[in-house]
Amino acid sequence: MPRLTLTIDGRAVRAGRGQTILQAARSHGIAIPTLCNLEGLTPLGGCRVCIVEVEGRPRPVPSCTTRAEQGMVVTTDSERLAAARRMIVELLLAERNHTCAVCVMNGNCELQTLATYLGIDHVRYGFISPLASVDISHERFGMDHNRCILCRRCVRVCNEIEGAHTWDVGGRGAASRIISDLAEPWGESATCTGCGKCVQACPTGALFEKGAVATRKGTICLERLVEWRKRGEP
């Protein structure tokens, strides 16, 4: 039921009411890089990697949270956007200790893949090198705050799909940390069901499976899971 038409990168694109620019673009095969976005979860607009330019607006807008409007003229790729995306990812890399060589997800990391895609071969900014902790109190999983980019996929998947809301964000600004329950060790959490959806949703090596076997992510199709839940199927 397409109800409106907009222009993305010079192409006429049809979209349903309520659809975001990102959804409209993707349904027409136009790729926009994303990071905090995960199909099946409520869009957050947190990382700002999916920004696009909309004619008539002075600043780029996040395409994952901006609704498509009738007659909108959208540009998904320009020098200005590429420079902004590069800067965003470089700042993420400078904020914590993203040491790929010693990371469990090296080679299978969405942040690493995105940095490569954006052509980032070095970080121009000073590294903050914070002293971040690693929580391995859980029987099966671990949380390494050195690799966390605060995308809040884990928070959303735990709340929206598992319904446990074990994860949340504590602190402010650069000192923000993902916390379980009331900032207690994950292994002592009263609410965690041990389902592992947060590990599956995590784009980096922040959440990982313990053990000798490398963590495999992306094994759950969250989009389908959400559809089934909505239809009331088991």
Partner 1 sequence: MKQRIRLATAWLSGCSGCHMGLLNLHAGLLELFERCDLVYSPLADIKQYPHGVDLCLVEGAVGSGDNREMAEVIRERTAFVVSLGDCAVNGNVAALRNPRGKAATLNRVYPQPGGFTPDVPALGEIVLPLHHVIAVDAFIPGCPPAPDAIGQAIQRFVTRM
Residue numbers at the binding site for partner 1 (CB under 8 A): 93, 97, 99-102, 121-124, 126-127, 129-132
- Closer CB to partner 1, 117 or 127, in the complex: 127
| Cα–Cα distance measured from residue 22 to residue 82, given in angstroms and rounded to the nearest whole number | 17
- Closer CB to partner 1, 132 or 226, in the complex: 132
| Cα–Cα distance measured from residue 62 to residue 25, given in angstroms and rounded to the nearest whole number | 13
| Cα–Cα distance measured from residue 68 to residue 133, given in angstroms and rounded to the nearest whole number | 41
**Residue 144 Cβ, how far from partner 1 at the closest point, in Å?**
13
**Residue 93 Cβ, how far from partner 1 at the closest point, in Å?**
8
Which residue from 18, 39, 15 is spatially nearest to 28, judged by alpha carbons?
15
| Cα–Cα distance measured from residue 21 to residue 181, given in angstroms and rounded to the nearest whole number | 34
**Residue 63 Cβ, how far from partner 1 at the closest point, in Å?**
29
**Residue 137 Cβ, how far from partner 1 at the closest point, in Å?**
20
> Coil, strand, or helix at residue 4?
strand
- C-alpha angle 43-49-50 in degrees, rounded to nearest 5: 60
φ/ψ region of 218 (left if φ > 0, alpha if ψ in -120 to 50, else beta) reads: left
**Residue 206 Cβ, how far from partner 1 at the closest point, in Å?**
16
- Closer CB to partner 1, 126 or 234, in the complex: 126
What is the secondary structure of 108-155 as a DSSP string?
S-HHHHHHHHTT--S--SPP------EE--SSSEEEEGGG-----HHH
